[in-house]
Amino acid sequence: MSSPASPAPRRAPGGEVVVIFGGRSEIGLAIARRLAGGRTVVLATRPGRDVSSLAAPLTAAGASAVEIIDFDADDLGSHARVVEDVESRIGEISVAVLAFGILGDQEVAEKDAAAAARILHTDFVAQAALLTVLAERMKPRKRGVLVAFSSVAGQRVRRANYVYGSAKAGLDGFASGMADALHGTGVTLVIPRPGFVIGRMTEGMDPAPFSSTPDQVADAVVDRVRARRAGVVWIPWQLRVMFVVARFVPQPIWRRMPR
């Protein structure tokens, strides 16, 4: 991990640098399009995937440059090297969005310890590790924005998806604590807490009440990023009310809440 004593990264000639970790994510790309104007956008994607079509929409949205780099979230030892490479070659990271994650297969994970561990590793451990690397880079500079995706699935872990939900519960707690720890440092940590998102990741699943789209999630996140407003943002906002009410209703009703 890079220490605060590391040489200061250079400023990017193409404006601020926005990095999407999980660069093929629908939500991540929607955020990138909204932040692209006058900035350099870096898409960090798993090696071996087809990324040939990713740059053009960002260039059309006004990005001054688009870079695509290899990134394996599950390789914790590579996180610091990837961040160092971006900052030494491209410029100081201004906004980092952690958009990677997996749903996994709940039925398999209940019976296969390795499958359960993979979900927890990607959706919690890898996220916490990368957030730590990025925060330690940003704190000495007293600036920067981090985005870490929680989920309503982690607010009360349910039978239907308790492996994924427990990973999100862990990440939610970690990110909330880190946001408190970053208060006053100049570094902002935004924690989107969306409900069911209709998209590629949930294809074939029945949408839950108060579902949203990647574009709706991106709009809410970008508003917070531009305002440099830390903390949790419920998407849509009605879910916050729904979860308060759910504390006082019978369990069968709760089970119909969003995933």
Helix (H, G, I), strand (E, B) or coil at 15: coil
Residue 63 to residue 34: CA distance in whole angstroms: 10
Q: Which two tokens stand for residue 259?
A: 């995933």
Q: Which helix or strand (DSSP H or E) is residue 28 part of?
A: helix 26-35
Q: Please tell me the distance from the alpha carbon of residue 147 to that of residue 112, in angstroms, as a whole number.
A: 31
Set 164, 210, 234, 243: catalytic member: 164
Tokens of 184: 């006053």
Query: Per the structure block, which two tokens stand in for 75?
Result: 């390789």
* Cα distance between residue 38 and residue 56, in whole Å: 15
164 is catalytic: yes
Residues annotated catalytic, as ranges: 164
